[in-house]
Amino acid sequence: MVEWLCAGTLDELWDGEMRSVRFDTVDVVICNVGGHVFAYDDRCPHLGNSLADGRLEGAQLTCAAHEWTFDVCEGRGINPADVCLRRYAVRVVDDAILVNVRSTVR
């Protein structure tokens, strides 16, 4: 069964913004890039620091702890290039941002 959970609204997450949302035991970082919303596990693959504590500049998300950088649209590492983020399925219905933490996207 697919579980779509509400992470907020587009009115609460403007273009160029990100925020952390907790669904039970899963922490998710939600990013709005150019009107497209992406959701990732809110843990840097390096040491598990919260990505929401970092910076979002354009489509690049940088971890505050050690400056690891990721392409938000793809989840791929930029620096270093051999890592990636766990991405969750997202859909926007009307103004609501819905995330499925049981379904990862590749």
Range in 30-34, 88-92, 100-104 the model is least confident about = 100-104
pLDDT at 2: 62
Which pTM does this prediction carry? 0.93
Number of alpha carbons in the 13 Å side-chain half-sphere of residue 65: 10
96 close to 9: Cβ distance less than 8 angstroms: yes
**Percentage of the residues of the chain whose pLDDT score is greater than 70:** 97
Look up the CATH number of the domain holding residue 57: 2.102.10.10
Cα 33 to Cα 48, 70, 80, 83, distances in angstroms: 23, 13, 21, 21
CA distance 10 to 16: 11
Q: Which residues contact 51 (CB under 8 A, 6 or more apart)?
A: 18, 29, 40, 42, 43, 44, 61, 63, 70, 85
Per-residue pLDDT tens over the stretch 56-94: 999 999 999 999 999 999 999 999 999 999 999 999 999
pLDDT at 106: 67
Q: How many domains does the chain have?
A: 1
Q: Which domain holds residue 81?
A: 5-105
